[in-house]
Amino acid sequence: MLEVYFPVLVFILFAAAFGLIPIVAGWVLGPSKPDAEKLSPFECGFEPFEDARIKFDVRYYLLAILFILFDLEIAFLFPWATILREIAASESIRLFGFFEMIVFLGILLLGYVYVWKKGALDWE
């Protein structure tokens, strides 16, 4: 019974080796010359001038939320696209499937226009 799982074990070992060999090779073969600047917490070229806990403008968060929202809504198109051939072949649900997606895209377009008119996509 366990011989059925042997290909899975080989795949896991191959994947682990494929990921670990470059990491180990870089660690062993790569130059390691630490100095005070490389070991400092900030290596961006200048000293930090503010506290790390500064408040960000709310537009960053709003834009991120809008991206996630529209990205997730677009993800709902994939299941519909995978069964589009079956929808088109069936006479009884052809128009229903088409208008269902038109309504979905219309709601998505209305949301996009609303966000656009509110100025959430304008960057000043």
| pTM of the predicted protein model | 0.50
Q: What average pLDDT does the segment 10-26 reach?
A: 96
Q: Is the pLDDT of residue 46 over 70?
A: no
Tell me the pLDDT tens digit for each residue of 23-44: 999 999 988 888 877 777 665 5
Q: Which residues contact 66 (CB under 8 A, 6 or more apart)?
A: 115, 120, 121
Structure letter (DSSP) for residue 53: T
The terminus-to-terminus CA distance of the chain in angstroms comes to 65
pLDDT in tens, 68-87: 988 888 888 888 889 888 88
State phi, psi for 107 to the nearest 5 degrees.
-65, -40
DSSP 31: -
User: How far is 84 from 71, CA to CA, in rounded Å?
Assistant: 21
Spatial separation of the C-alpha atoms in residues 108 and 100, rounded to whole Å: 12
Residue 114: pLDDT band with limits 50, 70, 90: very high
Say whether pLDDT at 113 is over 60. yes
Provide the mean pLDDT of the chain. 84
For position 41, what pLDDT does the model report?
67
Res 124: pLDDT:
67
Residue 13 exposed, middle or buried by CB count within 10 Å (0-12, 13-18, 19+)? exposed
